[in-house]
Chain A
């Protein structure tokens, strides 16, 4: 068990984003957290990443509270670009290398090549699609214990989405765990171990993808439609 949360709540003045979620994430598995916009997925991920503090409830990483130590082992990719405009693609790599012990420049170069990016490209000149690819390359070039990918396929063309899925599979090792959220659910069907459905900040359903298919004769997408229709 790598992440455990009990009755996790995050309240803002105007709304309750996460409304008492209890779950466990096990090592070596790929999890998809699904739900409509505003259902609490990003807030939940940010709490695991330590970027947002819970209002109440507990959340631990390998039994320890979320903090400096857990952040070293957790690679979080937000939906917004996170590099400075003055940087080139190469600069982003160097920046990450300075910041994260587990960053591999070799792997970064490989992924930049795979995404058809150029080391000399300036971040501010990148289209939104290319910026999205750069985010992925930087994040997955880290050999993290836990990857939190918020909408990793957003804004990315079909061919590149396929490459990203392959790259995610390459990082899926026995000692790494991946939690990703996406609206492109059907493209993730084959790679998911477990699926987490969030509705209005609460846990609606959590289960093993293959078991759900066998028991219900329905795909993850079909179950999604049932839950949120």
Chain B
């Protein structure tokens, strides 16, 4: 995974994990690597790895069974929510970029229609 070192690392890894959950690469209820293994997988600091799991847990995307491990949520609705959130984020960036180039709403719609065909 390519990192942008100008923004916090933990945010980028969280987004990568969210993506895997949304696409199903990480299945509902799947066991996630331990904090240490996550650190080694992404080659990041172990404290950052712990923070990532804390944040994911706060967002209710995973839960920890003490002494056993961390698992992806079983809540399908939650995952739908995150999927929409990420889609909106992409869209907002796209819209802003297009507006900065001077595209009108009608032009944008036409371009998208062409793309989607």
Interface residues of A (CB under 8 A from B): 28-30, 162, 165-166, 169-170, 172-173, 186, 189-193, 209-210, 213-214, 217-222
B108 interfacial by beta-carbon distance below 8 Å: no
- When distances are taken between beta carbons in the complex, the residues of chain A under 8 Å from B10 are 210
Compute how far the CA of A219 lies from the CA of B6 in the bound complex, rounded to whole angstroms. Answer: 4
Interface residues of B (CB under 8 A from A): 3, 5-10, 39-40, 42-48, 51
- When distances are taken between beta carbons in the complex, the residues of chain A under 8 Å from B47 are 28-29, 193
- When distances are taken between beta carbons in the complex, the residues of chain B under 8 Å from A29 are 47
Compute how far the CA of A165 lies from the CA of B40 in the bound complex, rounded to whole angstroms. Answer: 10
Which of A30, A170, A172, A217 interacts with B6 by CB under 8 Å? A217
User: Closest CB of chain A to B88's CB: distance in Å?
Assistant: 22
Contact status B40-A191, CB under 8 Å: no
A-B contact count (CB 8 A): 59
User: Closest CB of chain A to B50's CB: distance in Å?
Assistant: 10
B40's nearest neighbour on chain A, judged by CB, is A169
Compute how far the CA of A214 lies from the CA of B5 in the bound complex, rounded to whole angstroms. Answer: 11
Contact status B44-A190, CB under 8 Å: yes
Chain A interface mostly = helix
- When distances are taken between beta carbons in the complex, the residues of chain B under 8 Å from A165 are 43
Contact status A213-B7, CB under 8 Å: yes
- When distances are taken between beta carbons in the complex, the residues of chain B under 8 Å from A189 are 3, 5, 9
Contact status A166-B40, CB under 8 Å: yes
- When distances are taken between beta carbons in the complex, the residues of chain B under 8 Å from A169 are 39-40, 43, 45-46
User: Closest CB of chain A to B13's CB: distance in Å?
Assistant: 9
Can you identify 9 A-B contacts, CB atoms within 8 angstroms?
Answer: A30-B45, A169-B43, A172-B46, A189-B5, A190-B5, A190-B44, A191-B45, A210-B9, A219-B6
B12's nearest neighbour on chain A, judged by CB, is A190
